[in-house]
Amino acid sequence: MADPISTDATVTMIPGYRGTPLAVHQLGEGRPLVLLHGLFSSAHINWIKYGTAAAIAARGFRVIMPDFRVHGESPASHDPQDYPADVLALDVETLIAGLGLDDYDLGGFSLGARTTAMLLTRGLKPRRAILAGMGLQGLSGWAKRRDFFLSVIADRDTIKHGDPRWLSAQFMKTMKVDGEAAALLLQTFGDTDPEDLGSIDTPVLVVSGTEDRDNGSPQDLVAALPDARLAEIPGTHMSCVTKPELGLVIGDFLAA
């Protein structure tokens, strides 16, 4: 019987776009898989803490999990020049090139899925891709969600229980998000035009919690992609990342 995969990831600071250091967590050995976490979360919370990365690594993968700038162990600059348009996509492109990856898989959850979809439309060619916690409507119309999160940042110390922003405010506090840096980052996100999804020829797994429609319809997203399938797992947008099924369905898709 093979030894169990350790859940202790190594962490290295690796340059992102224009040299900004990114904390990159890595676990396992084998085929590279780059996984991108969600907004105000981190690689540890999304992928490591609940065993998802270890489950995938056990299938023979080197799981590479950067903390986006302003997230996790990566820096949170207050300099507006560090936040050009689509900077997260630029960071991931720089990271993939810096690691010398030319045959790899790519995926993300929520904001990580938005970033993955954008990277695919920008021309990245992973062997397979995962869009988790994402529906078709979540890839466009960002301005409304941006303004929601900006209001959370502005009012997070006074938001009361019962306010629809309360859970987001509590999560930001738990994650110790730097509000000033986060506000700068939120202004950099662009939309992905649903029509551009038709140009993606990478096989895609869309993963959604059965109670998660925070970013619209995952079925509509599957229909918009030329080569996609849907895997539903238990949970809401917040809870599905804690479920063992997340690592199982991703591992099955990548190992097939």
Q: At what angle do helices 87-98 and 111-122 cross, to 10 degrees?
A: 70
CATH code: domain of residue 147: 3.40.50.1820
Write out the residue range of the structural domain in which residue 35 sits. 10-255
Q: ∠98-125-81 over CA atoms, to 5°? A: 50
Residue 146 belongs to some domain of the structure: yes
Residue 157 belongs to some domain of the structure: yes
Residue 1 belongs to some domain of the structure: no
For 212-236, what is each residue's pLDDT tens digit?
Answer: 999 999 999 999 999 999 999 999 9
Number of independent structural domains in the chain: 1
For 139-157, what is each residue's pLDDT tens digit?
Answer: 988 888 899 999 999 999 9
Residue 44 belongs to some domain of the structure: yes
pLDDT-derived band at 4, boundaries 50, 70, 90 = very low
* pLDDT score of 1 more than 80: no
User: What is d(CA 189, CA 111) in angstroms, rounded to the nearest whole number?
Assistant: 9
pTM: 0.95
